[in-house]
Structure 1
Amino acid sequence: MKIGLLFGAGAEISYGFPTGGKFSLDIFRQEPRPNIDEFKKIRSNVDTKLYDEEWWQDGFKKDKVTTYGAKVITTLIKDTLEENRKKIVENINDFDNYAERVKSANKIENIDEAFFHYLGRDVGSCDVSGNISLNSNLVGRNNLFTSRYFSALMLLYSIYENNDEYKKQLKKMITSIIELQIGALSADLVNDVNQSAVTISNMDTDIFDDVGDVIKVDYQSVGVKGLEYLFENDEMEDSDNNKIKKIIFFTKCILEEIFSSVLDYKSLIDSNWRYIYSPKSDWGKFTKISIFLITVKNYIKNISDNCNVKDGYYNDLKDAKFELGYVATTNYSDLIEKELEHKVVFLNGSINEWYDPYLNIIERTSDLNGKFKLPLIFTQSGTKPMTAVSKSCEYVDLYRNWQEMDGIVIIGFGFNKDDEHINAILRTLVDDDNKNIYVVHKDLERAEVIKRLRITKNMSNINICKVDNYTTRKIGGLSWVEYIYDEINKSI
């Protein structure tokens, strides 16, 4: 039996790698100086004789370099609200479940007792929905004020007598959560109004076709406080001796969890990727995206180099009875290569792949040899690196190899719409090649996978294999590798 494997971000959670939103937060928290210095080192090694005279500007080796500054927060919020507004509302409405997860994940004990100390009542009896409500145009999908923990925070703020730093922090976090909820609800409402501001009946006219989006959300005032607070308070710790400090830490963890679940940084990169091809005309933007890519590479490399976990999906494969065909990943780390000792196709680049934007080529060496190279870490919309011959060939070879497999096993991959370059391969394998796909995931349902992949034929070929959690990775009492072996064995 021979299988193909595809790993997504979920496969590396057990190794200590963050999920997408947490990844975004951490990247923008990094100290910029080491990454700026690395950029300058790459720049200083450039041999201008290898380049057309129109590529570099005169004196570029001494020109000022810039990184993404404070304004990037507004951009992140705008992109997040536009892309994930419905998910933001759902997640904030799920405030109490986030609170429970935060308590468990951060080992926060006696938080309910801390609230009781100030409120004189149980958290479960807190409900401010009878006292506070949103505008009637927004209220339909808002359940935030019925949340017992958010209500407890509101009540605590109203009775907390000390006008100290703790009260200021509490106000900032509560305000940012409310603003984020109102912003997401408003973005949804504005989108609906702009798309259907006028209803036409019994009249044939195109006069309204050119009416643009006349209502806009002020992203500057939505959620910015929350992100700024998280960037500034990364090192905050729990306290068993200070009840208000414990509550502040608890609230900060919830805020971080909510932002991490929805934060969207991809369009920031997508809108700036093109500048790596125009250093002469857009030097400032060229340096920003270049240093950002170096920052991402160093952040991931640091986690990978310091990972001592030997119990995860990659390690499980050492006990597998099946033979491996091509293994692919959307992750950037080299951990999979270290653990598998097997050829891996990095579909979105990796920390060990380097991109030469001048020649549009990809290499596995960081030796500069007079060239300007950047880590090949691109988002799904950064399509130009995929036109590099070596990367195009990898995609074709991967597809052809998977055509010959007894099954394709997909682990920790979400089939999101911005992964369409990968979804298309999987869709073709199912619809045209009648291949069976086995999705190892904790939460995804079969109907959702079919919808996201846009499968039109052979829908029964989509098999969902739900693991209990990312720690034990068992399915029906068996290790996932045993379960997959048995399932594929039944079909061949």
Structure 2
Amino acid sequence: MARAKIALFFGAGAEIGYGLPSGGTFALDLFRTPVEDDKAEFRKQLEHISNTSHYAAKWLPNNYLKKRIHVFGKADFEGIVTSSLEYRREEMLTYLENFDENVHRLLKYWSLDEEEVRTKYKEEMGFDIGDFSYGQAVKLNNRLAENVRLFDSDFFSAMLKLLETQESRMLQRILRAILELLIGACGQRLISTLNEELFESAPEKLSVFDDLSGIFNLDYRNVGQTGMEIVLEEKPNPVSSQSTLTDIMIELGRVLLEDLYSRAMDYQALIDSHFRYLYNPRAHWAKFTKISIFLHTVRRYISTQHGMDADKLAYGPGYYHDLESLSQHASITAIGTTNYNSYVEQVLESRPIPPIPVYHLNGSVDERYDPYCNSISTSNPDEPLTDGGHLVVPFIFTQSGVKPLTSVTMSRKYVELYDKFQQSDLICIIGYSFSGDDGHINGLFRALAAEGKRLVIFHFGSGNELLLKREYQAKLRLSRPDHLDVFLINEHRTTQEIWWWERALQESLLLPVT
């Protein structure tokens, strides 16, 4: 009997079990990471360039060796906040509307559990969390929002009550940051509506009315900056049952802000506005060096990731180690991934598994990119990035709408993976969220589903599988979900009390084997 052919696609969520950060935490860590080493490496590349070459004379600016090397810093925060409020405002509002639910979730994994926090609050304040509510005392202008549930929140009201009775500059900054995001998200929604609907009706043949669109803007200098500064600059402050209530609430607020930004921070506009200058350093040296150093920092951060559990990566358990069990019952045709490291290859090489081609669709730490020649080459991740006369950067796509896919190497990689998926009976997707930043990958899956290829998505967490199926259908922009299935999966990598790979095998048996 022919063995089923199963292909796999892994996103960042597949590696959380190995101790690696989620995509949101990864983004925050990038802007916290010191960049001195990356600037030094970039400076070495500059010094290796022959100043008599055509490359130096025509492509680099004059006196490039004496020019300052720029990096992303606080001045770029406004761009991140602007992009986040424009493109992720609904996620922010949903998070704040469900403030208590998010507190409950975070306290499950905190140094103090929810009962301890509530007990500490009762001891110092004399009443329970939830006894006071600011839902009637605070009303947002109804032009911004008719009903805001944040002020009905037990924990947000508890923080406000604590600030009302005990002066704390840090707690006030945290609460202000939360309110800035609330007002900013509501304000951005209002402004977007106004800009799109300045005139309820107007003659279509008169373009003068269209000329007036988009005239309203938010002043982002006063919105969201406080939260960014807290999340990126304030260090965690460990708390215990011996800590003061104020310290506990301050740290809880900081953790909440970090969680919110990790879910809603959008730096795509910042990267996109700089990426184009990789191809023209003479036009804007500052932007060229900022994006170059950023890519070096991303590579170094991934290559020296201290959160990775070395024992788990060596011995498991994890999704990559589960491939050994799957390979005993099915043929694994190919593995696609958005992850930048080579951990999946390391695990495959250490296990008795037949060779499986792995395709990194967002680049990897083992690849480097020469923007002058639009070419990709491989490199040893432990060696510095130098290319005998040209500036090269790590070939890594972070959150960006700009993807240098015109390279023959990259184009071929997409085509090869697509062909491998086409030859498979089933495509299993794990830890990948189908975000808009990865439209180039989503389009690949959309084409496969439209042509009748079966996609099985393993969704981590809780929820209704039917509703989740509709959500993924919308993300993939499919007219019908006929070839799409979603299964809930937990932290033990099981779905409906069986291993995910066993579920994949069961699903493959429902299909005619090609």
**TM-score scaled to structure 2, two decimals?**
0.90
Of the candidates 421, 437, 441, which is equivalent to residue 455 of structure 2? 437
Is 1:314 paired with 2:320?
Answer: yes
Instruction: Answer with 435-444 or 25-34: which moved more.
Output: 435-444
SS of equivalent to 2:21: coil
TM alignment of 1:29-68, pairs within 5 A: 29-48=32-51, 49=53, 51=55, 53-68=57-72
Q: Does structure 1 conserve the Cα–Cα contact (< 8 Å) formed by 2:455 and 2:483? A: yes
In 2, distance between residues paired with 1:202 and 1:355?
51
Of the candidates 444, 447, 450, which is equivalent to residue 470 of structure 2? 447
In 2, distance between residues paired with 1:246 and 1:450?
42
The number of residues matched between the two structures is: 483
Pair 1:305–1:54, CA change in 2 (3 A) = farther
Is 1:345 paired with 2:359?
Answer: yes
Root-mean-square deviation (Å): 1.9
Is 1:477 paired with 2:477?
Answer: no
Of the candidates 350, 358, 370, which is equivalent to residue 356 of structure 1? 370
Give the AA of the match of 1:402: F
How much has 1:245 moved relative to structure 2? 1.5
Of the candidates 142, 153, 156, which is equivalent to residue 150 of structure 1? 156
In 2, distance between residues paired with 1:50 and 1:482?
58
Q: Does structure 1 conserve the Cα–Cα contact (< 8 Å) formed by 2:133 and 2:151? A: yes
SS of equivalent to 1:387: coil
Encode CA deviations 1:383-437: one digit per residue, 9 max, x unaligned.
45211111100111111111111111111111223322112211211212x1111
Q: Hey, what does 1:329 align to over in structure 2? A: 337
Q: Does structure 2 conserve the Cα–Cα contact (< 8 Å) formed by 1:114 and 1:246? A: no
Q: Hey, what does 1:398 align to over in structure 2? A: 417
Instruction: Answer with 382-391 or 93-102: which moved more.
Output: 382-391
SS of equivalent to 1:240: coil
Q: Hey, what does 1:283 align to over in structure 2? A: 285
Pair 1:11–1:56, CA change in 2 (3 A) = same
Instruction: Answer with 380-389 or 436-445: which moved more.
Output: 380-389
Is 1:85 paired with 2:89?
Answer: yes
TM alignment of 1:170-209, pairs within 5 A: 170-200=171-201, 205-209=206-210
In 2, distance between residues paired with 1:143 and 1:223?
20
Of the candidates 464, 468, 473, which is equivalent to residue 486 of structure 2? 464
Of the candidates 117, 126, 131, which is equivalent to residue 120 of structure 1? 126
Q: Does structure 2 conserve the Cα–Cα contact (< 8 Å) formed by 1:108 and 1:250? A: no
In 2, distance between residues paired with 1:331 and 1:60?
34
Pair 1:194–1:117, CA change in 2 (3 A) = same
Gaps of 5+ in 2: 350-355, 380-384
Pair 1:324–1:154, CA change in 2 (3 A) = same
Q: Hey, what does 1:301 align to over in structure 2? A: 303
How much has 1:311 moved relative to structure 2? 2.1
Instruction: Answer with 82-91 or 375-384: which moved more.
Output: 375-384
Instruction: Answer with 286-295 or 233-242: which moved more.
Output: 233-242
In 2, distance between residues paired with 1:32 and 1:487?
47
Q: Hey, what does 1:426 align to over in structure 2? A: 445
In 2, distance between residues paired with 1:50 and 1:210?
46
SS of equivalent to 2:33: coil
Instruction: Answer with 230-239 or 419-428: which moved more.
Output: 230-239
Q: Does structure 1 conserve the Cα–Cα contact (< 8 Å) formed by 2:196 and 2:213? A: no
In 1, distance between residues paired with 2:227 and 2:146?
24
Is 1:133 paired with 2:139?
Answer: yes
SS of equivalent to 2:482: helix
Q: Does structure 1 conserve the Cα–Cα contact (< 8 Å) formed by 2:79 and 2:269? A: no
Pair 1:202–1:389, CA change in 2 (3 A) = closer
In 1, distance between residues paired with 2:426 and 2:7?
6
How much has 1:250 moved relative to structure 2? 1.4
Is 1:226 paired with 2:227?
Answer: yes
In 1, distance between residues paired with 2:171 and 2:453?
54
Of the candidates 104, 110, 118, which is equivalent to residue 108 of structure 2? 104
SS of equivalent to 2:290: helix
Give the AA of the match of 1:11: A
In 2, distance between residues paired with 1:205 and 1:442?
51
In 1, distance between residues paired with 2:483 and 2:252?
44
How much has 1:126 moved relative to structure 2? 2.6
Is 1:373 paired with 2:375?
Answer: no
Pair 1:34–1:137, CA change in 2 (3 A) = same
**TM-score scaled to structure 1, two decimals?**
0.94
How much has 1:172 moved relative to structure 2? 0.1
Instruction: Answer with 256-265 or 41-50: which moved more.
Output: 41-50
In 2, distance between residues paired with 1:93 and 1:229?
21
SS of equivalent to 1:428: helix
SS of equivalent to 1:220: helix
How much has 1:451 moved relative to structure 2? 1.5
